[in-house]
A and B are shown apart, each in its own frame.
Chain A
Amino acid sequence: MSKLSLLDIIGPIMLGPSSSHTAGAVRIGNLAREIVAEEIEEVKFHLHGSFKETYQGHGTDKALLGGLLGLSTADPKIKNAFELAEEKGIEFDYLPVELDGVHPNTAKLEIKDRTDKTTTIVASSVGGGSVVIKQIDGINVDLNGEYHTLITLHQDKPGVMAKISRVLEEDELNIAFMKVLREYKGALATAVIELDHNLTTKKLRAIKEIAEIKEARIIKPVK
């Protein structure tokens, strides 16, 4: 674990009542918004464990939705998240779910955007407002939203990671953390690369131009 800041002890400023069920839920929504990066049309929140049991009393429902609308953990407008979503024509629903082997405070978000693409995100609120994105579209990622994160989907061939690293090096970008996941044996792999600084649009383009890369996106940190 990274070293504790005094702002972890006094703070954050947030809407109550619970750092894990409210503030954490907002951050899950914020990150999901970053990941989808398109106008949202419809969202289904599948709630697991303690999220399922207490989501209304803790305002987890409004917090998830408000976060998805881009509101911050301290924004009083979160209380009106339902109305705000309706104004924007976003459909939303909350459903119970049983997920295997996950933290008690976990939600699975099924988000349909205006391009008709559906993104599925599994995320947990792990305490004190910290969150972890566990899966994006069935791929394990383990993102905590504290760094600029580059996520790629690429052909699993030798040398791809070296090509990516070379592009990053040119910009003197420090890699804070890197993980490569092979979900589709031998065919496709996903790399999750946490960076100290943001990647320029140009660099992102350079990465996308690598022949083996199918998809690359950058996820900004959320506060």
Chain B
Amino acid sequence: MYDFKTINGLIELAQKEELSIPEVVILREQELSERSEAEIRELMKKNLKVMKEAAQKGLEKDDLTSISGLTGGDGRLLAEAEKDGKSLIGAVISQAVAKALAIAEVNAAMEPIVAVPTAGSCGILPAALLTVAEKYEKKEEEVIDALFVASGIGLAIAQQASVSGAEGGCQAECGSAAGMAAGAVVYLMGGDHNQLASAVAISLKTVLGLVCDPVAGLVEVPCIKRNATGASNALVAAEMALAGIESVIPVDEVIVAMKKVGDALPNELKETSLGGLAATPTARKIENELTLNN
């Protein structure tokens, strides 16, 4: 049985069986789905392809707008500024942020994306992972392995807490996505198990309590920009962990804390658009305008 409920459980299983984390995650899926390893890898390859296409579309299309007309084009704007040498924070983070915006904008424009873990947070993992993979010229198979690492992390979070904004607030969506991305990047860069666990813990800790408050109920404001900060969060956490910085609170305790915080959040702040940014005067105005236009 290759099953695990926690990140620690996943790491222990890998150590005991002398397997890599992607191997454990794939074996678990084989047992669960009766699919072969080749089939599972093929499905992941397809996911990667859609991620790349979404990033490209978001960065290149010059008339990208959401159905509501509220958002679109910001990823491109940032990518152009970076190309013009105007980046303040450096190429890797700037490019990752641009990609995260671009993919989230593609999502809002009703184009194909991969929900990781959800559609609302779909930009974070691909943006962080693809940017690092490009910079360090990682092979496709390595990136696919990193995606399996990300799914292992996501599974541990989903089983101990939640990956849905309606259940746990945005910490559960954009937070989990950042945790998955941070761990995947550490794996891709050859970090060890402790570093991986610390990266996930650090990225989750920084967004603990983040509420889900989509303006007018649409997955656009603040979601798209939270994808941007989610990608940078993942890279900052990975950078720290790879340098040997540890999380004082172990990762699974952080996940359980996130679950408790999520439970304590009032309904107003869990995707109902009754509180937070969704209840600001400007948000209400946007909401009214959208209703009138309809």
Interface residues of A (CB under 8 A from B): 3-20, 22-23, 50, 53-54, 56-59, 62, 74, 76, 78-79, 127-129
Contacts and interface: CB of A to CB of B under 8 A. Distances in A.
Contact of A9 (B40, B66, B107, B117): B117
B241 to A, nearest CB: 21
B115 A56 contact: no
B122 A8 contact: no
A3 B32 contact: yes
A13 B148 contact: no
Nearest to B148: A6
A5 B219 contact: no
Interface stretch (B85-93, B131-139, B152-160, B198-206): B152-160
B106 A10 contact: no
A50 B217 contact: yes
Interface stretch (B44-52, B94-102, B230-238): B44-52
Given A5-B32, A76-B112, A54 B218 contact: yes
Query: What's the dominant secondary structure at chain A's contact region?
Result: mixed
Given A6-B25, A6-B151, A128-B118, A13 B110 contact: no
5 contacts: A11-B43, A15-B111, A17-B119, A57-B216, A129-B115
B212 interface: no
Given A54-B217, A58-B218, A16 B113 contact: yes
A23 B294 CA distance: 22
B14 to A, nearest CB: 15
What 8 pairs between A and B have smallest CB-CB spacing?
A16-B107, A9-B154, A6-B151, A54-B217, A17-B219, A57-B218, A57-B68, A9-B151
A129 B117 CA distance: 12
Contacts of B122: 16
Nearest to B117: A9
Given A4-B155, A5-B32, A10 B44 contact: yes
A69 to B, nearest CB: 16
